[in-house]
Amino acid sequence: MTEELLQQVRDLHLPLGSYVLFGSAPMGARGMREMKDVDMVVTPEVFEDFKKKSDWVFEIKSNGSECLHQGSLEMFHEWWPGEWNVAKLIVEADILEGLPFVKLEEVKRWKQMRNSDKDKIDLQLIASYQGI
């Protein structure tokens, strides 16, 4: 499933520097766990362009953030919870298999903020991956 989802992202033909993959994608790309969907954080311009496409559905999540989705792909122009500098996340992305992924340190910070049972498991997987 992971490779299929990453190919769907590639098929969007978004230029590097306009998006970064967050959520479970940085872990999935490193083989830590399987991905079930892909969360993309994009520039406001990309978000507005895709908002006009009829095959992308706009919704407001329960946390108030705006989201576009198409199947297993979700696109955001901001990230929650906390205050995230989207431009910085994009510029500092790790490029793996030609795709930009949020650095694992940022994924750890996000999962520590959320602190759900699933996030605690993911934090253990990241620690194991990093040899901590």
Query: Quick one: DSSP state of residue 123?
Result: H
pLDDT of residue 41: 97
pLDDT over 80 (residue 37)? yes
What tens digit of pLDDT does each residue of 5-23 get?
A: 999 999 999 999 999 999 9
pLDDT of residue 83: 83
